[in-house]
Structure 1
């Protein structure tokens, strides 16, 4: 494996975060992240963002809020 450099690591970071790269390319980026604080920081931001989105997708709105929103939508539809 060879350190792929910042340009390639940043260009392919999104695919790396989603495990969409070939094994060799992922290994190159992983090696680069181990030695580059700037790119490792961007990687950490990406990981935190993905985790936050995953958590948000698992959460559900309280039933009272759901009823309020549906009531408002129905009211708007009848006046449209």
Structure 2
């Protein structure tokens, strides 16, 4: 394996974290991350952000809020 460098590792980081890069790229980026504290920090931020967004997408709005929003949408639709 060869170190792909910071530029390539950071450019492909999102795909790497989602396992969307080929095995060769994955190995190169993994090797780079293992040896580069700056890119490790970048990966930690990206993973944390991805996890927070994923959790937020699973949450549901309270029923009363959903009902209010739907009522507003219906009202807006009938007036236009």
TM-score after normalising by structure 2? 0.91
Alignment-derived partner of residue 8 in structure 2: 8
Shift of 1:72: 0.8
Q: Which residue of 1 aligns with 2:38?
A: 38
Q: Which runs of 4+ in 1 moved over 6 A?
A: none
Across the aligned residues of Structure 1 and Structure 2, the Cα RMSD in angstroms comes to 1.0
Give the drift of 1:75.
Answer: 1.2
Aligned-pair CA distance for 1:2? 1.6
Q: Mind listing any 5+ residue stretches in structure 1 that lack a counterpart?
A: none
Unaligned runs of 5+ in 2: none
- 1:53 equivalent to 2:58? Answer no
- Give distance in 1, aligned partners of 2:11 and 2:65: 41
